[in-house]
Amino acid sequence: DVKVTQSSRYLVKRTGEKVFLECVQDMDHENMFWYRQDPGLGLRLIYFSYDVKMKEKGDIPEGYSVSREKKERFSLILESASTNQTSMYLCASSNGLATGGYGYTFGSGTRLTVV
């Protein structure tokens, strides 16, 4: 069964810490995405990547960066965690031929709490 695996299910970090959220997919997908999900706001796109070493900003990139050194791995970095970054973080991947949101595969999410 194809998978998107997020390294942690729950994470608690302190304000000001540098936080790494890791995502690995085993489907050889070109595209990878990071979203955050907050009650009443749905899913909001933070960053996405169409290829290794390529990245593009989503709707809410402030306070975040990403790294994609290998095709299967897409990391989200919180440079200096703040309490307003407490959220559910979802990683997704899709085939390069996917059109209009077809066939995204999501991970189970990382619930990050910044205290």
Binding test (CB under 8 A) with another protein, winner from 3, 70, 103, 115: 103
CB 11, CB 19: distance < 8 Å: yes
What are the phi and psi torsion angles at 84 (to 5°)? -75, 0
Which residue type does 31 have?
A: N
Q: Does 11 bind another protein (CB under 8 A)?
A: no
Question: HSE-up of 42 (CA within 13 Å, CB side)?
Answer: 3
Q: Does 26 bind another protein (CB under 8 A)?
A: no
Between CA 83 and CA 61 the distance in angstroms is: 16
Q: Does 25 bind another protein (CB under 8 A)?
A: no
Cβ 94 to another protein, closest distance in Å? 7
Task: Mark out the alpha helices in 1-115 (DSSP H runs).
Answer: none
Q: Does 42 bind another protein (CB under 8 A)?
A: yes
CB atoms within 10 A of CB 23: 26
Of 4 and 17, nearer to another protein (C-beta) is 4
Q: Does 85 bind another protein (CB under 8 A)?
A: no
Binding site for another protein (CB under 8 A): 4, 31, 35, 40-45, 48, 50, 56, 58-59, 90-92, 94, 98-109
